[in-house]
């Protein structure tokens, strides 16, 4: 059954996209997973990315053209502006994050594709949300453009499921950390940069304060959660807005201490900027028992295990 699926990943050059394409291709085969991004790739990159299409998610006709060309059955929509970048260009972030989603949801509503994956985020929560072990259902008053777009997106996903029977699935990703691709424009990006700087310079200036604890997840866990959710039987996916998802939680001080076990001379300093305010409005830890109960989710990486793996690969 799986062999017949043809998958389009929109935003394949982003932090999650590259790894997700890789993960999906090991399951479905190279030719069945079409990578796409707004970026034109040079010839070398094209060879590894192929099949690849240049695509602006705001161009619905172009998405439709690709869907028809490859007989696409599923879309993973990853193109979005993240929290810090969105604050610099609120209206464009709103346009991209919302209309990109509508373009894809409408293709499913019109019956052209069967399944949609769209990522939500811990940014759907806000300063009035309980911050420790944040429940699935709780107060949600996001105060960033990114968070507002993700929360609104969740409402529309649930609406399309209820009204039009669109099989759309979503996860509220925590901050994602991986060694294969750089993050771009998020508040949790420090937790990736810190590893690179530890190797290169044995020091790092952090843009968040030392005790700012945030929910985080290692990329292999995030990819596994995404594919597990998409493979779950439809009846098991009881939440059609987005599932809470938890990996680990740590502060800059705690990750610095862990890094010191690899690089004893590593030094961290703190110079919080505007991203501090965003981080302060987000949860410290997440209760993901709904994901555990509904489709058997369990994270495999904690801070120590992730750090060992990050350094193993980055030092190479
Ligand atoms: N990592 C994202 C960000 O910081 C959260 O979804 O914007």
Residue range 159-184, pLDDT digits in tens: 999 999 999 999 999 999 999 988 88
Let me know if residue 206 belongs to a domain. Answer: yes
CATH number, domain containing residue 92: 3.40.50.720
pTM to 2 decimal places: 0.96
Q: Specify whether 207 is located in the same domain as 222.
A: no
Q: Are residues 253 and 238 in the same domain?
A: no
104 and 197 assigned to the same domain: no
Residue 102 and residue 62 share a domain:
yes
Percent of the chain exceeding pLDDT 90 equals: 94
Average pLDDT of span 177-199: 94
Mean pLDDT, to the nearest integer, of 280-286?
A: 98
Domain identity same for 160 and 204: no
Q: Is 121 in the pocket of ligand 1 (CB under 6 A)?
A: yes
Q: Give dist(CA 285, CA 242) in Å, integer.
A: 16
Residue 306 sits in a domain whose CATH number is 3.90.25
48 pLDDT band, cuts 50/70/90, is: confident
Closest ligand 1 atom to the C-alpha of 176? 1
Domain assignment of residue 149, yes or no = yes
Same domain, 198 and 144: no
Residues 7 and 141 grouped into a single domain: yes
Residue 74 pLDDT > 80: yes
Residue 297 lies in a domain: no
Contact 14, 78 (CB under 8 A): yes
Pocket test for ligand 1, best of 82, 119, 183 (most atoms within 8 A of CB): 82
The atom of ligand 1 lying closest to the CA of 175 is: 1
* Catalytic member of 52, 146, 195, 301: 146
Task: Give the model's pLDDT for residue 3.
Answer: 47
Q: Does any domain span residue 293?
A: no
* Residue 230 and residue 274 in one domain: no
Are 119 and 66 contained in the same domain? yes
- Best residue among 16, 121, 183, 247 to mutate for probing ligand 1, ranked by most atoms within 8 Å of CB: 121
Domain assignment present for residue 294? The answer is no
- How many domains in the chain? 2
Tens digit of each residue's pLDDT (9 = 90 or more) over 100-141? 999 999 999 999 999 999 999 999 999 999 999 999 999 999
**Cβ neighbourhood burial of 187 (10 Å; 0-12, 13-18, 19+):** buried
pLDDT band per the 50, 70, 90 thresholds, residue 47: confident
Ligand 1 atom closest to residue 183's alpha carbon, by position in its atom list: 1
DSSP 220: H
Q: Is residue 295 part of a domain?
A: no
Domain that holds residue 281: 176-215+248-285+302-315
Please work out whether the CB of residue 175 comes within 6 Å of at least one atom of ligand 1. Answer: yes
Mark whether 146 is an active-site residue. yes
41 and 157 together in one domain: yes
Distance in angstroms (rounded) separating the CA atoms of residues 124 and 154: 9
pLDDT of res. 94: 98
pLDDT for the residue 4 = 87
Distance CA 128, CA 226 (A): 28
Instruction: Look at ligand 1, atom 3, and give the residue with the nearest C-alpha.
Output: 186
User: Does one domain contain both 131 and 279?
Assistant: no
The CB of 278 under 6 Å from ligand 1? The reply is no
Q: Whose CA is nearest to atom 1 of ligand 1?
A: 175
Helices in the chain by DSSP H: which ranges? 17-28, 43-49, 60-70, 83-88, 90-109, 145-164, 190-201, 219-231, 252-260, 275-280, 289-295, 303-315
CA distance to 128, 239, 250, per residue, from 124 (Å):
11, 15, 19
Ligand 1 center to 146 CA (angstroms)? 9
Tell me the CA–centroid distance for residue 197 and ligand 1, in Å.
20
230 and 308 fall within a common domain: no
Q: Is 83 in the pocket of ligand 1 (CB under 6 A)?
A: yes
């Amino acid at each position: 059954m799986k062999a017949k699926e043809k998958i389009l990943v929109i935003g394949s050059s982003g932090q999650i996209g590259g790894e997700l394409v890789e993960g999906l291709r090991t399951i479905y085969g190279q030719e069945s997973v079409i990578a796409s991004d707004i970026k034109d790739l040079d010839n070398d990159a094209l060879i590894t990315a192929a099949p690849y299409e240049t695509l602006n998610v705001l161009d619905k006709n172009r998405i439709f053209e690709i869907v028809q060309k490859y007989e696409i059955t599923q879309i993973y929509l990853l193109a979005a502006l993240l929290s810090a970048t969105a604050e610099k260009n609120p209206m464009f972030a709103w346009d991209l994050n919302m209309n990109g989603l509508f373009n894809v949801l409408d293709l499913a509503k019109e019956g052209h594709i069967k399944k949609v994956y769209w990522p939500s985020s811990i940014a759907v929560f806000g300063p009035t949300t309980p911050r420790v072990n944040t429940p699935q259902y709780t107060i949600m008053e996001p105060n960033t453009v990114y968070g507002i777009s993700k929360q609104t997106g969740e409402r529309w996903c649930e609406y399309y499921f209820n009204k039009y029977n669109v099989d759309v699935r979503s996860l509220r990703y925590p901050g994602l950390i991986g060694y294969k691709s750089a993050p771009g424009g998020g508040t949790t990006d420090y937790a990736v940069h810190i590893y690179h700087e530890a190797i290169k310079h044995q020091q790092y200036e952090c843009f968040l304060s030392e005790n700012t604890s945030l929910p985080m997840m290692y990329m292999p866990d995030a990819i596994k959660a995404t594919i597990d959710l998409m493979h779950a039987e439809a009846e098991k996916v009881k939440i059609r807005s987005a599932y809470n998802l938890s990996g680990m939680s740590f502060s800059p001080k705690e990750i610095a201490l862990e890094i010191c076990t690899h690089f004893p001379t590593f030094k961290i300093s703190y110079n919080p900027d505007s991203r501090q305010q965003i981080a302060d409005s987000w949860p410290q830890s997440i209760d993901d028992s709904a994901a555990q109960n509904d489709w058997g989710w369990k994270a495999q990486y904690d801070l120590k295990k992730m750090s060992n793996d990050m350094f193993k690969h980055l030092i190479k």
